[in-house]
Structure 1
Amino acid sequence: MTVTAPATYRHTPSPLHAIMLAGTVPLFLGALLSDITYYNTYQIQWSNFASWLTASGLVFCGLGLLFALINLIRADRKSGRPVMYFLLMLVTWVLGLVNAFVHAKDAFASMPSGLILSAIVTVLICITAWTGLTNLRSGEAQ
């Protein structure tokens, strides 16, 4: 008699999803550092850097959000982890979009709200990346 094991499905990110997720962290962190530098020096170019880094972070975050949605659809409904990860990614993307709109203002008008939003988005993407990539290391199977 042949014994077959039931298939196990993991809701870990694919390699491309992991690259998009991990690539978002330095982009939003760079925007935060550019905002801090602009706040200290008032050199307009730092505000431009923050705007471009935020826009690039939104592209990566949007693609990661798409992958998270696909993983959410494919995941087992018993585990709440993909739902929490998707919601964290969605909140990060929405706040990043608001941050991009704030940075679209005149450079001096974007302070201090742009700096505060950049800090919030950076903390959120770090938590989101931790949540999304933790399952890769733990080897949990669903």
Structure 2
Amino acid sequence: MTTPELTYRHRPGPLHALLLAGAVPLFFGALLSDVAYFKTFQVQWSNFASWLIAGGLLLAGLAGLFALVNLARARRKAGRPLVYVLLLLAAWLLGLVNAFEHAKDAWAVMPQGLVLSMLVTLLALAAAWTGLGSLRGEGEA
């Protein structure tokens, strides 16, 4: 007797997909603001980055809650949704560290804030790619 292939049967709903897809441009905007601050040293760019990170954390956190609910509701478990949840969690945690870094004085943010913004953006992009990949119909049973 063979074991059936394990699949993740719960796709992200529209609100979940919107939250997940909305977090990526906010984190990317924070990265662009950090690059602008790194080049110009205009303090307002650091303030923009702080607010964009806060918005990205809000959307990514809500998307993470949806992802955990979908993972708990899944009838069968597979590696892909767990990777998605872990990527999203890593992006959120590093984003939180990045928010704490940006809470410092503007002159103290660089270069750690820029590096953290790059990492958070890449993790959020990877999480969105993995999480929204199921909307393309991959692995449906």
**Residue deviations 1:72-122 (CA, integer Å, cap 9, x gap):** 101134411111111111111000000000000000101000000000000
| Larger Rg, first or second structure (1 or 2) | 1
Change in 2 beyond 3 A, CA 1:139/1:49 = same
User: Quick one: which amino acid aligns to residue 117 of structure 1?
Assistant: L
Find the aligned partners of 2:137 and 2:74 in 1 and give their Cα distance.
Answer: 17
TM-score calculated relative to the size of structure 1: 0.91
Q: Is the 8 A contact 2:98 2:116 kept in 1?
A: yes
Partner of 1:30: 29
Deviation at 1:139, TM superposition (A): 4.5
Following TM superposition, where does structure 1 have runs of at least 4 consecutive aligned residues deviating by more than 6 angstroms?
Answer: none
Matched, 1:64 2:63: yes
Q: Is the 8 A contact 2:8 2:81 kept in 1?
A: no
Q: Is the 8 A contact 1:72 1:83 kept in 2?
A: yes
**Residue deviations 1:107-140 (CA, integer Å, cap 9, x gap):** 0101000000000000110100000001101343
Q: How does 1:1-142 map to 2 (within 5 A)?
A: 10-142=9-141
Percentage identity across aligned positions?
Answer: 64
Find the aligned partners of 1:9 and 1:77 in 2 and give their Cα distance.
Answer: 6
Q: Is the 8 A contact 1:75 1:82 kept in 2?
A: no
User: Quick one: which amino acid aligns to residue 16 of structure 1?
Assistant: L
Find the aligned partners of 1:60 and 1:85 in 2 and give their Cα distance.
Answer: 15
Unaligned runs of 5+ in 1: 1-7
**Equivalent pairs, count:** 135
Find the aligned partners of 2:124 and 2:64 in 1 and give their Cα distance.
Answer: 12
Deviation at 1:9, TM superposition (A): 7.0
Q: Which range moved further: 33-42 or 73-82? A: 73-82
TM-score calculated relative to the size of structure 2: 0.91
Q: Is the 8 A contact 2:16 2:66 kept in 1?
A: yes
Unaligned runs of 5+ in 2: 1-6
RMSD value, Cα:
1.4
Find the aligned partners of 2:77 and 2:55 in 1 and give their Cα distance.
Answer: 34
Q: Is the 8 A contact 1:27 1:56 kept in 2?
A: yes
Q: Is the 8 A contact 1:31 1:118 kept in 2?
A: yes
**Residue deviations 1:20-78 (CA, integer Å, cap 9, x gap):** 00000100000000000000000000000000000000000000000010011011344
